[in-house]
Copies of this chain bind each other. A is one copy, B any other.
Amino acid sequence: MKPGKIISLFLFVMVLSLCAEPSVEQWGTFEFASNGPTNGNPFLDIKYSARFTQGTNSIVAGGFYDGNGIYRVRFMPDHAGEWTYKTASNVRKLDGKTGSFSATAPTAGNHGPVRVAHTYHFAYADGTPYQELGTTCYVWEWQPEALQEQTLKTLASAPFNKIRFCVFPKRYQWNTNEPILYPFPGDPAVAHWDFTHFNVQYFQHLEQRVADLQKLGIEADVILFHPYDEGHWGFDRMPAGVDDRYLHYLVARLAAYRNVWWSLANEWDFMKQKKESDFMRFGEIVSRDDPYHHLLSIHNGAKLFNHTLPWITHASIQNGFAVEEPGRAELYRDVYRKPVVYDEVKYEGNIASRWGQLSAEELVFRFWNATIAGTYCGHGETYQSADQILWWSKGGALKGQSPVRLAFLKKVLDDSPVDGIEPIDPWQHPEIGGQPGKYYLIYLGKTSPTNWDFRIPRPPTGKLQAAEGMKFTVEVLDTWNMTVTPVSGEFTLQKKDNYTYGDKDGRSVPLPGRPYVAMRIKRVEK
């Protein structure tokens, strides 16, 4: 090719790439920036949003001021294909601007945001089941940079697919250091803040960490308020107008990240400066502002929030007692008819507080109880440490013995029915979950039997049922030693009494005589 032609081709490609419509993958974050006013107070004065349209699908996303005269709108397309948009603002420079972009097919690992599925469970928007297995590091993202990087590295090889953390900094035992940034401009030394402005670097950093988690396939369960401030900074007792503006701003910035969940508060009832009605208002703001209806809940201290409210997607519950047996854990499902996530069940660790001294065995036991009940459980770790770095608060490295067992549980969950593990006959056999006539997971907890009479419930009501003649295989799972041992042969259902089936040949299942044993019973496919 002659030099002239090469230059022509080069120029042609240059022009093409300049003219090319921007693109983002479906459920990715499309963003555009505009220059706007810098006079006055952009955070207070400027209204800015954009309407995104694809055929009859029309979605309004809030815009936000990102400092230095830059205004941004972010949008998460829920369908592939062409999208157009048009801005709206109370200032001419930002109003009525139009554009378009193309949403491409999602790439590997992008399944969209997590939604409620089968009433009590979760699935990604593309239908892939999401088996929730969360942990908590309340303010990992406000620790020194190197520690944040270590946390991300730890998460990359941990079994967790969700992490709970706070937007605001936390001050509490083992966490009395100041954060690397503050959400408002002001003077940290005297806790004086300009609540009429946001510190954009703070939010930029926060969303970078949300994006980092997204790359790891981890959902970010973002906690919007918490009580662990007690007036030290005062972010737990801002005026109502500031609370509301903060929520509008945060949702505009974060909603277009597909891995975001909203947790209105941690231990909402311990926030003595707030009333229950404040959290009702917060929930209404977030659910109205968020065009994608990300998962939304609120976590309790001693007092449960009313999770029957329509804008609450799932029950986020602190209650370690409830997961000490599957039967208890199941009771809240019946109330809420929503997924129940026991986000705080006490932590694996050795601190003096009774909420932070579970053995690894006990925490794994609680996860299994929650699983059998058709609910979900949350991890946390509080091992004393000379460097004052406890995973539960700051992240860093995991020291406990539970995560590897939770990885084993995760494998079991990934192999479970796509419509979820359901209680089978919970008031009689709380130790049995599954899908009737298809799959049973039976957990024997702290008992150590050497034998199990093969018994399958035949409850009087229910959808799909087991029936005589159905054949099943049994595997024995040692949930602590992480082994799966198949039992030879098949078991064939025969009516035992009005409420149970046994095996037609009266077979039972030999067990190792150790605690923490489960059985996985699967229908033999014809």
Complex interface: stretch among A156-164, A183-191, A290-298, A423-431: A423-431
Q: Which residues of B contact A304 (CB under 8 A)?
A: 334-335
Residue contact B427 to A498, C-beta cutoff 8 Å: no
Report yes or no: A430 in contact with B308, Cβ–Cβ below 8 A: no
Do the beta carbons of A321 and B327 come within 8 Å of each other? yes
Partner of A428, one of B308, B327, B354, B461: B354
* A332–B427 CA distance with the chains assembled, in angstroms: 15
- B-chain residues with CB within 8 Å of residue A303 when the two chains form the complex: 334
Q: Which residues of A333-382 are within 8 A (CB) of B? A: 334-335, 352-354
Q: Which residues of B contact A302 (CB under 8 A)?
A: 461
Given known A308-B306, A328-B328, contact A320–B354 (CB-CB < 8 A): no
Given A302-B461, A328-B327, A335-B304, A354–B499 Cβ distance below 8 Å?
yes
The CA-CA distance from A282 to B302 in the complex, in Å, is 34
Write the A318-334 contact mask toward B (1 if CB under 8 angstroms, else 0). 01111000011001101
State whether A331 and B328 are in contact (beta carbons under 8 Å apart), knowing that A308-B306, A320-B427, A498-B352 are contacts in the complex. yes
Collect the chain B residues with CB atoms within 8 Å of residue A327's CB.
321, 328
CB distance from A378 to the nearest CB of B (A): 16
Please give the distance in Å from A42's CB to the nearest CB on chain B. 42
Give A461-484 as 1s and 0s: 1 = Cβ < 8 Å from B's Cβ atoms. 100000000000000000000000
Q: Which residues of B contact A430 (CB under 8 A)?
A: 321
Residue of A301, A328, A428 with most partner-chain B CB within 10 A: A328
A320: chain B residues within 8 A (beta carbon): 427
A498 vs B353: C-alpha distance when bound (angstroms): 8
Closest to A270 in B: B461
Please name all residues of chain B whose beta carbon is closer than 8 Å to the beta carbon of A319 when the two chains form the complex.
331, 427
What is the predominant secondary structure among interface residues of chain A facing chain B? loop
Bound: A327/B328 CA distance, A: 8
Chain B residues with CB under 8 A of A308: 306, 308
Q: Which residue of B lies closest to A328 (CB)?
A: B328
Instruction: Give, as a whole number of angstroms, the nearest-CB distance from A198 to chain B.
Output: 34
Residue of B nearest to A322 (CB): B331
Q: How far is the CB of A433 from chain B (nearest CB, A)?
A: 15
Provide the bound-state CA to CA distance between A331 and B304, in Å.
10
A509 to chain B, nearest CB (A): 24
Which residues of chain B have C-beta atoms less than 8 A from A306's C-beta? 308
| Distance of A516 from chain B, by nearest CB (Å) | 22
A302–B308 Cα gap in the complex (Å)?
A: 18
How close is A461's CB to chain B, nearest CB, in angstroms?
6
Indicate which residue in B321, B332, B428, B499 contacts A426 across the interface (CB closer than 8 Å): B321
Q: Which residues of B contact A328 (CB under 8 A)?
A: 327-328, 331
Cα(A262)–Cα(B74), bound, Å:
53
Task: Output the nearest chain B residue to A331 by Cβ-Cβ distance.
Answer: B331
CA distance A214 to B521 in the complex (A): 55
Within 8 A of B (CB), among A80-106: none
Query: 1/0 contact trace for A427-448 toward B, CB 8 Å?
Result: 1101000000000000000000
- A318's nearest neighbour on chain B, judged by CB, is B427
CB nearest to A306 among chain B residues: B308
Residues on the B chain within 8 Å of A499, using CB: 354
A304 to B334, alpha carbons, bound, how many Å?
6
| A498–B355 CA distance with the chains assembled, in angstroms | 12
Q: How far is the CA of A235 from the CA of B515 in the complex (A)?
A: 53
Chain A to chain B contacts (Cβ below 8 Å), 17 pairs: A302-B461, A303-B334, A304-B335, A308-B308, A319-B331, A319-B427, A320-B427, A321-B426, A321-B428, A328-B331, A331-B331, A331-B332, A332-B335, A335-B335, A352-B498, A353-B498, A354-B499
4 additional contacts (CB under 8 A) given A331-B331, A331-B332 = A303-B334, A306-B308, A321-B327, A354-B499
> Which 3 residue pairs across A and B have the least CB separation, nearest first?
A321-B427, A304-B334, A308-B308
